[in-house]
Amino acid sequence: MKRFSLLFLGAVLLLAPLSRADEGMWLLPLLQKYNIATMQSMGLKLSAEDIYSVNHSSIKDAIVMFGRGCTGEVISSQGLVLTNHHCGYGAIQSHSSVEHDYLKDGFWAMSMEEEIPTPGLSVTFLVRIEDVTDVMNNMLQGRITESERAKIIEAVGDSLSAEATKDTHYYALVQSFYGGNAFYLLVYETFNDVRMVGAPPSSIGKFGADTDNWIWPRHTGDFSLFRIYADKDNKPAKYSPDNVPYKPKHHLPISIKDLEKGDFAMVLGYPGSTTRYMTSWEVEESEKITNSNRAYIRGIKQDIILEDMLASDEVRIKYASKYSGSSNYWKHSIGQNQALKRLHVKSSKEKSEAEFLKWLDGNGKRKEAYGEALPLIRDAVKGRRDYVHANQYLLETLYMGTEIIGLASRANDFYKYLNEGQEKISDDEKEKEMAKRVNRFKESAKAFYKNYNCPTDKKVAKAMFKLFNDNVSKELQPELFNIIRTDYNGNFDEYIDNLYDKSIFADSVKLWAFLENPSAESLKNDPAFYAATSIGKTRESYSEKIGFFNDNYKKGHRLYVAGIMEKNEGKPKYPDANFSMRLTYGKVLDYYPKDAVHYNYITTLKGVMEKEDPDNWEFVVPDKLKDLFESKNFGPYAMKNGEMPVNFITNNDITGGNSGSPVINAKGELIGCAFDGNWEAMSGDIIFEPDYQRCISVDIRYVLFIIDKYAGAKRLIDEMTIAR
């Protein structure tokens, strides 16, 4: 194993300048070895040290992990953070009400005193990345199972993380890269006092909504603003009115100069997940199971929810964030399946596998080292097929698709305590422990009910239970479904009506009454809790079955990636995205999506007006924006030709998690905020398509124009560093 590790790392260190400039999500500590020469030949004026440095301020110190799944960038010396509107959407929604509808009307703090604290929202800075592959692999010697391997990795990772953060307020984790063949320690600093500063109305921030999502040309002002607050020593602190704006090590200067085709552009951020080493069997699984199921189930659920949202402002506000999160990957699944077929991705993967097998046949040692890789993957994917299908249906329709089931499942630990946990503590502690558990569950339920509408959930539940029953074989269904067939003669509407009528979880009044005098017996007899328990047991059985196959898959995948690295020694390879900070570089670039069709690299406010449809909520244009357009009151943010830019595209390699990432020019200046990919390359997480892959960004000049001319919040412009 040790010899293998050294061979592998040797191959990795040789991977550099032959890669396409526009492909790859690269690790920052390796830029000097792999990428900087190519980047500078494309026009970059900075050094690798200017981008990533442990000892000095650098661009990475202006990049944050925003919340739990996005990226943001610091754009002023007072901790002002820019991210996407859809990344800040949950926060905007949480502060909205019928009386203060920030989703519909937007929000702008005209002073720091008006900036709104947002509990639960955090931003995280990367402190450093350290290669710990040799340390980890030294502990992975000998013949060990995949389960044993995982336990060792976890234990060693915990030890390394603890040592790295000793006597600091940082946190750290060890992540695997290159299919589990390399390991890096990542150290972070998190700030939890983050306040909402500004957001355009959804008619700007989500203009085009589902129809335009993933589509170019695009005309969306997808941005929002927040501010980081710290204690008087500039350290992370929980919310306090005494906290002050954070002073960053670095903030991004902003360029308002015109963009030209071919201009250098790089994106730094936290791409969530790619599967570029996916095999043909996995492509088929994604196409026929994962994507197809998600698109079908969510399409039905979203139609029900949207009908209620359009009928009531209260329901619209409650479900805005949930609907947006669901619909984003509903459309992604549809687009990815179309791209997988159109671009013949499965055939491309089969060709790569054939080349790999041919390479193995040429050498006995290779065959011994990597010969079982593809058979392990193939057999695992085929073996888990039925369980993956059933598990996805269970999650999409019941466990996450029906909200009351999700709430009832949270009571499982509380039930265990009521049923047997009190025997383990003294009488003196029982009252205190009960009060603590009741309060904890009540706080969780309060957050749930804030964004819950029982009639909507009931409609969804009737559709979702039927969907699960019709599409999952009976032998894989929870015991609950046998009861519905027996006691309700298979009438799901009648069963759902009874569940919502009788469950304590259907509304807060019933649940609060139960919590006044909770008992295990009452919970056990509650129909929603019983349903959640039955569904939970079935989910555990699926996980056990899938886990058996996944152990073999993980081994096969690790060996396959290791073999590819050795096979392609001397050629550049980057690890799959795993929500660690990466850099991708490319150019501002147009493209030809199909025969006789050309898409320019930039869109303007004129296009917003052309798309306007006052009868379609997705394409409503605010009156003030129309007035600004008619008067050409664009300030210093217009292009030289007098038009107002809105969005632009580059050929940077991005994925989910890059939302909110800064698009930076050759001088290290901010030119845009990435927010989407394009329809023609929806297979990009699986295979990079250089002719089609584009990153869609909101032009920073449109951001400044909306802040200044539309919102009148020039105080925010004044704290930025503008390069004119």
659 in active site: yes
Name, in order, each residue with C-beta under 8 angstroms of 128's C-beta and a sequence gap of 6 or more: 54, 186, 187
Q: Single out the residue of 202, 197, 240 nearest to residue 221, CA to CA.
A: 202
Q: What span, in angstroms and rounded, lies between the C-alpha atoms of 255 and 638?
A: 12
The sign one gets for the Cα dihedral 208, 212, 213, 219 is negative
Helices (H), 236-291: 280-285
Q: Are 44 and 266 in contact (CB under 8 A)?
A: yes
∠313-227-62 over CA atoms, to 5°? 125
The position carrying tokens 């290779």 is 366
What is the bridge-based pairing of β-strands 602-604 and 123-131?
unpaired
CB atoms within 10 A of CB 598: 9
Q: Which amino acid is at 98?
A: V
- State the Cα torsion 229-232-234-239 to the nearest 10°: -30
Q: Single out the residue of 583, 586, 691, 635 nearest to residue 126, CA to CA.
A: 583
∠272-683-90 over CA atoms, to 5°? 40
Q: What span, in angstroms and rounded, lies between the C-alpha atoms of 619 and 608?
A: 8
The DSSP H or E segment spanning 207 is none
Q: What span, in angstroms and rounded, lies between the C-alpha atoms of 401 and 299?
A: 12
First to last CA, the chain: 56
Burial class (CB in 10 A: 0-12, 13-18, 19+), 723: middle
The DSSP H or E segment spanning 585 is strand 582-587
The β-bridge partners of 81 are 74, 226
Given the residues 86, 250, 332, 389, select the one marked as catalytic. Answer: 86
In 3-state terms, the chain is what percent helix, strand and coil (to 5)?
A: 50, 15, 35
Q: What span, in angstroms and rounded, lies between the C-alpha atoms of 197 and 199?
A: 7
Provide the CA 199 distance to its chain's centre, in angstroms. Answer: 20
Given the residues 22, 193, 212, 222, select the one marked as catalytic. Answer: 222
Q: Are 185 and 159 in contact (CB under 8 A)?
A: no
Coil/strand/helix, residue 116: strand
Coil/strand/helix, residue 614: coil
The position carrying tokens 């009861």 is 483
| Burial readout 35-54 (b: 16 or more C-beta within 10 A, e: otherwise) | bbebbeebebebebebbbbe
What string of DSSP letters covers 312-379?
-HHHHHHHHHHHHHHHHHHHHHHHHHHHHHHTTHHHHHHHHHHHHHHHHHT-HHHHHHHTTHHHHHHH
Given the residues 659, 661, 683, 697, select the one marked as catalytic. Answer: 659
Q: Single out the residue of 162, 163, 161 nearest to residue 184, CA to CA.
A: 161
Q: What span, in angstroms and rounded, lies between the C-alpha atoms of 217 and 602?
A: 8
Structure tokens at 597: 């069709």
Q: What span, in angstroms and rounded, lies between the C-alpha atoms of 47 and 723?
A: 20
Q: Within 13 Å of residue 341, how many CA atoms lie on the same side as its CB? A: 9
* Helix axis angle, 479-487 to 527-567, nearest 10°: 140
86 in active site: yes
Structure tokens at 366: 């290779």
Structure tokens at 70: 């996005």
Give the active site residues.
86, 222, 659
